Structure 1
Amino acid sequence: MKRTVSRLLTCAALMLAPIMLPAAAAAGPEPVGHGTQSWAGVWRNTNNTVHIKASPCGDGMCATVIWANDKTKADVAAKGHNIIGMQLLRNFHQSGPAEWRGTVYVPDLDTTISGKITMTDRNTLAAVGCGFLGLVCQTRHWSRIS
């Protein structure tokens, strides 16, 4: 019996190895400094209501609001905050070749949620923020200004 179980486990491992090994190799993050700064720069959201500056912070990446249109400034000010200088993307660490994970501050809700940034190309970011135990997610696209 012991020998049969051992053979079954060995067969299962051999069958899964071709599937698991490429996935494990691809899942490892690039070293910090190799691709981490590729999204450093100034970005604008799709509606051009907010501009953020992404840069290294600690051992990760963060993004701070450097410009907002008057309506956005007024909306956030109504909640008792100043959006200029507000760090929206916090503590992002590379989790794949063009992917980073961290937290996103949502001024409208005055809360922080989990986030993922994917660089779709050199000048485009897709930022996904998920709240409510990951059940509610929203994607925002950002275009590089500089």
Structure 2
Amino acid sequence: MHSLKLVAVLSAAVVGLISVPAHAAGESALGYGVWRNPKDNVRVEIKSCGATTCGVVVYASPKAQADARKSGYDTLIGQQLLREFEPVGNRMMRGKVFVPTLRVTLVGTAEFLDARTMHAKGCVLGKLICKSQIWTRVETVTASTGRAPS
């Protein structure tokens, strides 16, 4: 049972923290932007962290925040969950995923289906137990128009 919980947490972190390739997103930098998990209880901003890509939590629901506090963190907001992510092929990235609720750093991968959709997969025990989710890019609202860019 503990292994299944680990996979679920890992997958949530992996899926929420990986970006879409620049050519698919139409952006100058690899997958930069905000992504939400399927339940929209965690959102992560993907951005440059020097020579690699990272992801920082910019929104967490009250339940996600409570889970982080139980693990010894004052807040989930601002935690860098995606670390040292780099492209490893066409529409694929790999890097380190920090899982605050378990206080571990694991390897994660993602496949980018299109500019707004990402399929992430996390496995434990040598790929014997795996979990995957589909995450969605969040449209950002511009200050001048109050609308999402087209």
- Fold shared, TM-score > 0.5 on shorter chain: yes
**Is 2:67 aligned against 1:107?**
no
Shift of 1:33: 7.7
Quick one: which of 80, 102, 108 aligns to 2:72? Answer: 80
1:76-106 Cα offsets, whole Å, 9 max, x none, are 1111112111111111110112111101111
Matches within 5 A, 1:86-125: 86-125=79-118
1:32-51 Cα offsets, whole Å, 9 max, x none, are 98788342100100001001
**Structure with higher RCO (Cα < 8 A, 6+ apart):** 2
Rg comparison, structure with higher value: 1
Give the aligned partner of residue 49 of structure 2: 57
Letter in 2 for 1:47: K
Give the aligned partner of residue 9 of structure 1: none
Structure 2 unaligned segments of length 5 or more: list them: 1-20, 140-150
1:7-28 Cα offsets, whole Å, 9 max, x none, are xxxxxxxxxxxxxxxxxxxxxx
Structure 1 unaligned segments of length 5 or more: list them: 1-31
**Is 2:124 aligned against 1:136?**
no
Q: TM-score normalised to the size of structure 1? A: 0.70
SS at match of 1:93: strand
Letter in 2 for 1:67: Y
Percent identity at matched positions? 36
Is the CA contact 2:93–2:110 (under 8 Å) kept in the aligned structure 1?
yes
Question: Larger % of helix: which?
Answer: 1
Give the Cα–Cα distance (whole angstroms) in 1 for the partners of residues 80 and 123 of structure 2.
17
Runs (4+) of structure 1 exceeding 6 A deviation are: 32-36
Is the CA contact 1:46–1:143 (under 8 Å) kept in the aligned structure 2?
yes
SS at match of 2:29: helix
1:95-123 Cα offsets, whole Å, 9 max, x none, are 11211110111122111111002111100
